[in-house]
Amino acid sequence: MTKAKRTLVLATRGRGNKPSTVTAPGREFAEKMLANGCSRETVAATLGLSSSALKTAADNDPLLAEAMARGDGALETELVGHLLQHAREGNVTAAIFLLKAKRGFRDSTPVEPKDAQPNITINLPGAASPEDYRRMIDVTPDPTQQRNKS
């Protein structure tokens, strides 16, 4: 590990195998990397951590989690700003993408709510008269319809 990396990450490996801790300069560095479009995997590798170690460190350190969220948010704000500028200048593709990505717009199919339940209809026949019901359940063969077995 280089000297620069050692100042960014403080690895506390001791009793109980405690997770790595990212120092204040490391948090600032991670925020800047994310704001510049780097993935969390790249940030972790640059800090000398695995992806899971960085996630664990962020889970245990609210300041690191906030710094990473700010970095992600800064990148999104910048990208959406550029797209919005292009859309306002008449770029239809940028406008369509923004509608789809940020507003849930769909080309042809309506957007259904996430908790939508299927609509099931069961059609039942009308009530039968008592005479029709008796005929329906009567399983006795009709003697007039029996065939001649010869």
pLDDT digits (tens, 9 = 90+) for 54-106: 999 999 999 999 999 999 999 999 999 999 999 999 999 999 999 888 888 87
In this predicted model, what pLDDT tens digit does every residue of 117-142 receive, in sequence order?
788 888 888 888 888 888 888 877 77
Is the per-residue pLDDT at 5 higher than 90? no
pLDDT of 14:
40
What does pTM read for this prediction?
Answer: 0.60
CA distance 5 to 121: 65
pLDDT of 116:
76
